[in-house]
Amino acid sequence: MAVVAVVVFGLLHLSPGDPAAIIAGDQATTQEIEKVRAQLGLDRPLAVQFASWLGELARGDLGRSIYDGQPVAKMIGQRLEPTIALALCTLVVSVLLSVPLGTLAAWKAGTWIDRAIMGFAVLGFSFPVFVIGYGLIYLFSLTWELLPVQGYASPAQGIGDFVAHMVMPSLALGWVLTALFARMTRTSMLEVLGQDYIRTAQAKGLSTARVLAGHALKNAAVPIVTTIGIGVALLIGGVVVTETVFAIPGVGLLTVDAILRRDYPVIQGVVLVFSAVYVLINLAVDLSYGLFDPRIRY
User: How much is the pLDDT for 298?
Assistant: 65
pLDDT tens, residue by residue, 129-144:
999 999 999 999 999 9
% of the chain with per-residue pLDDT over 70? 100
pLDDT tens, residue by residue, 160-206:
999 999 999 999 999 989 998 999 999 999 988 888 888 888 888 88
Can you give the residue ranges of every domain in the chain? Answer: 2-58, 77-292
pLDDT tens, residue by residue, 238-291:
898 999 999 999 999 999 999 888 899 999 999 999 999 888 888 888 888 877
The answer on pLDDT for 296 being more than 90 is: no
In terms of CATH architecture, what is 77-292? Orthogonal Bundle (1.10)
pTM metric for this prediction: 0.87
The runs of H, that is alpha helices, within 41-126 are 46-58, 72-107, 112-126
Confidence band for 42, pLDDT divided at 50, 70 and 90? confident
